[in-house]
Structure 1
Amino acid sequence: MDDVFVGSLMTSPVTTVPADTPAKAAAALMLDEGISSVVVVDEDNQLEGVLTSTDFVAIAAAEASAASFSVADHMTTDVVTTTAQASIVDVADLLIEHGIHHVPVVDDTEGVVGMVTTTDLTAYLSGAVDGESARAWT
């Protein structure tokens, strides 16, 4: 498993939004796409943050209306990232260490190139994917 790289399991392209996106629009996009997070990027596709379904739980717990906030108001900005060349074992360790379920995959020149999630790792371990489908990033 050490020789399986993130690039072969990550979801790409990743769903992104600019920081000024209304939270309500981001929530609708997440529902439409059937995803639990969006990556927040600038105009150069560089990572600015991540907004997850957990962030919307915090909004609801605060009895706030998502209609009155932008993505920037609730996104996580201290984002744990990885590269397409990282081992999936290293990424699994990151997920456990930080108690997270999503890790954006970044490249120095292209910015955000994908997302690897606990679902991606589980699909690989179950045999649902073979780890060879996206070797272009390795």
Structure 2
Amino acid sequence: MAPDETVLVEEVMSTPLETIPAGAPVQEAAEQMREHDISGLFVPGSDAGIITTTDIVDVVAAGDDPAEVTVADVMTAPVERVTTQVELNEAAEMMTTYGIKHLPVIDSQSDYVGMVSSTDTTSEFE
């Protein structure tokens, strides 16, 4: 990519947005992430959130049973988000500022449509 070329989030985000219900067991979240080769799932609802591989590792490291712990127990909510039209470098700055690795993406109607991760931001600039 040329240094002066603008890249928008919509050009690199993962779609479709993979989701999981808040009441699902963490084990199911882990299986879904493995199946789709992703590191985070969006949790839709009035208190939308996100569960990541780090959350799953924390459950296992604490000695808790991933089949018994629910996504709602460990997800991060509320979540920061970006629109499809945000420049990728701005999304990367947000991730750094908030100490996060995933941002759900919304369209102009505020519908969740994808996910951008720190991997997307670094690979685009290599």
Please state which band the TM-score falls in when normalised by the shorter chain.
0.7 to 0.9
Find the counterpart in structure 1 of residue 49 from structure 2: 49
Quote how far apart the aligned CAs of 1:89 are: 1.6
Structure 1 residue 2 displacement after superposition: 6.8
Which position in structure 2 is the counterpart of 1:8? Answer: 11
- Gaps of at least 5 residues in structure 1 are 127-138
The alpha-carbon deviation at position 24 of structure 1 amounts to 1.1
State the structure with bigger RCO (CA 8 A, min sep 6), 1 or 2. Answer: 1
- Once residues 13 and 72 of structure 1 are traced to their aligned partners in structure 2, the CA distance between those partners, rounded to angstroms, is 22
Residue identity matched to 2:33:
M
Shift in Å, 1:95: 1.0
Instruction: Give % identity.
Output: 36
The TM-score normalised by the length of structure 2 is 0.87
Match of 1:33 in 2: 36
Q: Which residue of 2 aligns with 1:130?
A: none
Q: Indicate the SS of the match to 1:51.
A: strand
Q: Point out where structure 2 has 5 or more consecutive residues left out of the alignment.
A: none
- One-letter amino acid of the structure 1 residue matched with residue 55 of structure 2: D
What are the superposed Cα offsets for residues 93-115 of structure 1, whole Å, 9 maximum, x if unpaired?
10111111111102363521011
Distance 2:100 2:82 in 1: 13
Contact 2:25 2:67 in 1 (8 A): yes
Aligned partners of 2:17 and 2:113 also within 8 Å: yes
- CA deviation profile, 1:66-122 (whole Å, cap 9, x unmatched): 110211111100311111011112111101111111111023635210111111112
Q: How does 1:83-98 map to 2 (within 5 A)?
A: 83-98=83-98
Cα contact 1:38–1:52 (8 A) shared by 2: yes
- Aligned equivalents of 2:25, 2:111: Cα separation in 1: 22
